[in-house]
Amino acid sequence: MIAVILVGGFGTRLRPLTYTRPKQLLPLGNTTLIEYMIGRLAEQEFREIVLAVGYRPDTLKEVLGDGERLGVNIHYSLEEEPLGTAGPIRQAEDYLRGSGEFFVLNGDIVSDMNYQQILVHHRYHQAQASIALYRVDDPSRYGVVDITSEGQILAFIEKPPADTAPSNLINAGCYVLDESVLDHIPLGRKVSIERETFPLLCEKGRVYGWEHKGLWIDTGTPSSYLEANKEVLAASTNQSHRESPPTHHGPVRRMYIGPTSSRNVRYLRPYWKGKDTIIGNDCEIGPNVTLGRNVTIGAGTRIRDAVIFNCVEIGESVVLRNTVIGQGAKIGDKIRLEEFQLVGDGATIYPGAIVPPGARIDPGTDFR
């Protein structure tokens, strides 16, 4: 089977982390979001992957290459300008014509979907399009379906007010599409699959839904990204202490960090500790913590529910929780970040600074 992964978005809700990388390269434990997605596809016998890329495509190519390392063949379909959620599918048609049917996945979803079950469901109903669905309490933030008891989707309504939603089954960002769907997507312009393509196909009566009842996280916000990190760590870390391969991304520049000897460090699972990361005395790490490579952490620091990128320097007696620290950032002594603050690459937070809840500190910024 062939799968198209839509990775053209700018990741605006995760800025400043996404100023310097596409959100698909945000770390989750010892992997990244896009590598996690491709790995799950490879496990289910997908061998051809088309990445519909737009934002920072060279960065993705540098990390993923041709896909051999991940057991797949990766093709890149470049959007010169944003084409929405359906336009990139039509633009990739050279890879899709002749396939008969293919999968499309949003590039920001962490899930444990069984793609083969969706495919069987699709073929059973002889559907033109099959949409994976997920049940939520509040569907107003998503595309919602009006669906029959047999699973036929009658209408697709994008982000309706909660009191008018026909169901609480939302678009889960995974579709099986018949090749003929390409003919219903205009070429060369921005097209919304939710607002244009699916409503058109629903009128033809050949759209069906398949409900996924397992893990599903839209990683587009800081809180949901950290939740995804927690789930991936829990699934992949089955030892009390693990380290990533000995790969180095840039030099370590010491700041604020005194001598460390790693006495009385308490680790709470799950967590991931990268190669050449140094942790000071009397620290507590975890649960739900990803520490990148070449990270230095001063004595008495506590970190939980957090993602720390490579080459970060953290001072003494720091408290980090519900926060993400970008590559090469420096956090001074006694700083507290506990309320979804995001720190961009290379930023510095000096000792004594008070960082407001939800603050976004741009790359390279000095915050005093």
pLDDT digits (tens, 9 = 90+) for 285-327: 999 999 999 999 999 999 999 999 999 999 999 999 999 999 9
- CA–CA dist 199, 193 (Å, integer): 8
Q: Of 179, 206, 234, which residue sits at a domain end?
A: 234
> What average pLDDT score do residues 179-195 get?
93
Amino acid 54: pLDDT:
87
CB-count burial class (<10 Å; 0-12, 13-18, 19+) for 235: middle
Whether residues 254 and 198 share a domain: the answer is no
> Can you give the pLDDT at residue 188?
85
**Average pLDDT for residues 320-342, to the nearest whole number?**
97
Q: What is the mean pLDDT of the chain?
A: 90
Residue whose C-alpha is closest to residue 171's, from 189, 153, 186, 185: 153
- Same domain, residue pair 273 and 304: yes
Residues carrying an active site annotation: 159
Q: C-alpha angle with apex 218: 215 to 223, nearest 5 degrees?
A: 100
How far apart CA 7 and CA 63 sit, in angstroms, is 14
% of the chain at pLDDT higher than 70: 93
Q: Is residue 191 over pLDDT 60?
A: yes
Strands (E), 241-283: 266-267, 271-273, 278-279
Asked if 77 and 50 touch (Cβ cutoff 8 Å), the reply is yes
Spatial separation of the C-alpha atoms in residues 323 and 277, rounded to whole Å: 19
Q: What is residue 162's predicted lDDT score, i.e. its pLDDT?
A: 75
Strand ranges inside 15-152, DSSP E: 27-28, 31-32, 48-53, 73-78, 101-106, 109-111, 129-135, 143-147
Q: How far apart are CA 237 and CA 286, in angstroms?
A: 12
- Prediction pTM value: 0.89
What is the CB neighbour count within 10 angstroms for residue 185? 22
User: Which tens digits make up the pLDDT trace of 148-186?
Assistant: 988 999 988 878 887 888 888 999 999 999 999 999 999
pLDDT for 165: 86
> What is the distance between the alpha carbons of residues 4 and 51, in angstroms, rounded to a whole number?
6
The secondary structure element, H or E, covering residue 155 is strand 153-158
In this structure, are residues 353 and 368 in contact, taking their beta carbons and an 8 Å threshold?
yes
Q: Which amino acid is at 240?
A: S
CB 185 within 8 A of CB 91: no
257 pLDDT more than 60 = no
The domain boundary residue, chosen from 234, 265, 290:
234
Q: What would the two tokens of residue 43 be?
A: 């496990």
Same-domain status, 206 and 314: no
Q: Among 234, 269, 302, where does a domain finish?
A: 234
pLDDT in tens, 341-358: 999 999 999 998 999 999
Provide the pLDDT confidence category of residue 207 given band limits of 50, 70 and 90: very high
Residue bearing the bigger pLDDT, 196 or 245: 196
pLDDT at 246 over 70: no
Same domain for 215 and 314, yes or no, is no
Whether residue 254 sits in one domain with residue 207: no
- Write the single-letter amino acid at 176: V
> Which pLDDT band holds residue 20 (cuts at 50, 70, 90)?
very high
What CATH number is given to the structural domain containing 308? 2.160.10.10
| Claim to verify: residue 79 and residue 180 sit in the same structural domain | yes
- pLDDT score of 262 more than 70: no
Of 192, 221, 195, nearest to 11 (Cα)? 221
Among 54-68, 259-273, 323-337, the least confident range = 259-273
Of 146, 178, 183, 151, give the one whose Cα is nearest residue 165: 146
pLDDT at 138: 86
Residue 320, CB-side half-sphere exposure with 13 Å CA sphere:
37
Residue 87 and residue 175 share a domain: yes
Collect all residues with Cβ–Cβ distance below 8 Å to 27 and sequence separation of at least 6: 229, 290, 292, 307, 309
Q: 94 with 201, same domain?
A: yes
CA–CA dist 36, 29 (Å, integer): 10
Report the distance separating Cα 171 and Cα 34, nearest Å.
Answer: 20
Q: Which two tokens stand for residue 300?
A: 């008495």
CA separation for the pair 91, 187 (Å, rounded): 7
Tens of pLDDT, residues 31-51: 999 999 999 999 999 999 999
Q: Averaged over 130-136, what is the pLDDT?
A: 95
Q: Give Cβ neighbours of residue 173 (< 8 Å, ≥ 6 apart).
A: 105, 106, 108, 109, 132, 218
Range of the domain at 350: 243-368
Retrieve residue 22's tokens: 């596409």
CATH number at residue 104: 3.90.550.10
Query: Among 39, 64, 198, which residue's Cα sits nearest to residue 131?
Result: 198
Q: What's residue 237's pLDDT? A: 58
Which of 103-107, 201-205, 232-236 reaches the highest mean pLDDT? Answer: 103-107
Segments in the chain forming alpha helices (H): 33-43, 57-64, 87-91, 93-96, 115-124, 198-203, 222-236
User: Would you state the pLDDT for residue 244?
Assistant: 38
pLDDT of residue 197: 93
* Number of structural domains in the chain: 2
Q: Does 257 share its domain with 314?
A: yes
Q: Are residues 197 and 106 in the same domain?
A: yes
- Same domain for 218 and 267? no
Domain match, 265 and 215 both: no
